[in-house]
Amino acid sequence: MLGALTIPRLLQKMREVEASDLHLKSGSPPVLRVAGELRRVDCPALEAEDVRQLLAPIIPDHLRPALESRGGIDFSHHETQEHRFRCSVFHAGHALHAAIRRVNPKIPSFEELHLPPIYERLMETTHEGLVVVCGVTGSGKSSTLAAMIDHINRTQACNIITVEDPVEYLFRPASSYVSQREIGIDIPDFASALRAAVRQDPDVIMIGEMRDRETMLAGIQAAETGHLVFATLHTADTMQSFARILEFFDTKDHGFIRSSLAAGLQGVLAQRLLPSVKPGAQRVPATEVLLNNSTVSEKIREGEDDDLPAVMAGSLHEGMHDFTTSLAQLVEKDWVDLKVAERFAPNAEALRSRVRGISVKADTLISRVKH
């Protein structure tokens, strides 16, 4: 039934239409995500055996037992060094399903990702501590993290060690020396990799994702001992990030963790990708940035997390801002339609008020110029 349909041809199709993801499941044709929207490939629905045959050539031999025992695996696949894909293959409904993400072969810059200037400034002024990039699946965390590491790689002489599952972007050493370790190939798990990393004379450590207590604790401790640590968290915003970090630990340990974060955290950077209306940009990030200063440090230590949104909103001069501010700026600069921004806003009415305030200020300025 497959005929001419093969995994290389589907991956080639992804590149041709600039799809971000490919989904394979029995009972449906292959589905591509283009500019955030799902589009079916024009072919018959796949059967369970079709999906298995399609995926067979790319599933690494050493992961096949884990696929059967754990029910799912993650790995990287590359047709060439320039065409890489992040693959998640899993059992569902007595059949194999897959979600395959296309990784841009070129590491994007902050400008290409349309990130605010504070991201680059943070890389140039921070030399130790913990930087957390958070967002839901598909929010661009990996690309942002890659841009950060590549900026340091190009501008500073550092020893950089990354721990990833799987390796996505390949960093070519420039001013820095880079070692990339992949879970399941180079090292069994994140915690083991981090324990080893601190003995490998690193200046910068990048953790693909903090998923458990051991990894979280190792990352915090590495940041406390003079290393610059980057990590991602699967949370929607800065407030959820603090809650998620604490969830990894017993309540009796929360005081110690808060004290460590108060001293070592440099920033929490949250983002969400929105469809853009500006030509040449399919999607653009709305961001939320919390930076550690004396006020933030005290709030974290004392457990006064509920005050942090007000701190962000009142510290724009330092580069901090909340999602509402970011969304309002995207609308003002004609990057995003207001109706779309409202769907992503924490509070749609607050966003509308902010945008109306911007519009009133702009109209007043224009009126003054005319007169």
The pLDDT, as a whole number, for residue 105 is 72
Give the residue numbers spanning the domain of 18: 7-103
DSSP-based three-state secondary structure for 42? coil
Q: What angle do CA 77, 166, 76 make, to 5 degrees?
A: 5
Burial 120-154 (b: 16+ CB within 10 A, else e): bebbeebebbbbbbbbeeebbbbbbbbbbbbbbbe
User: Which residues are CB-contacts of 80 (< 8 A; sequence separation ≥ 6)?
Assistant: none
Same domain, residue pair 339 and 214: yes
For residue 108, being part of any structural domain is answered with no
Same domain, residue pair 269 and 321: yes
Q: Say how many C-beta atoms besides its own lie within 10 A of residue 117's C-beta.
A: 10
For residue 160, being part of any structural domain is answered with yes
Q: Say how many C-beta atoms besides its own lie within 10 A of residue 202's C-beta.
A: 20
Element (H, E) at 332: helix 323-332
The pLDDT, as a whole number, for residue 204 is 97
For residue 309, being part of any structural domain is answered with yes
Same domain, residue pair 130 and 68: no
Same domain, residue pair 140 and 270: yes
Low-confidence ranges of the chain (pLDDT < 50): 360-371
* Domain end point (choices 103, 135, 167): 103
- One-character DSSP codes across 241-284: HHHHHHHTS-GGGHHHHHHHHHHHEEEEEEEEEEE--STT-SEE
Of 53, 46, 42, whose CA–CA distance to 26 is shortest? 46
Q: Is the pTM of this model over 0.85?
A: no
Express each pLDDT in 57-105 by its tens digit: 999 998 999 999 999 998 888 877 678 898 999 999 889 999 998 887 7
Q: Are 274 and 330 in contact (CB under 8 A)?
A: yes
The pLDDT, as a whole number, for residue 358 is 66
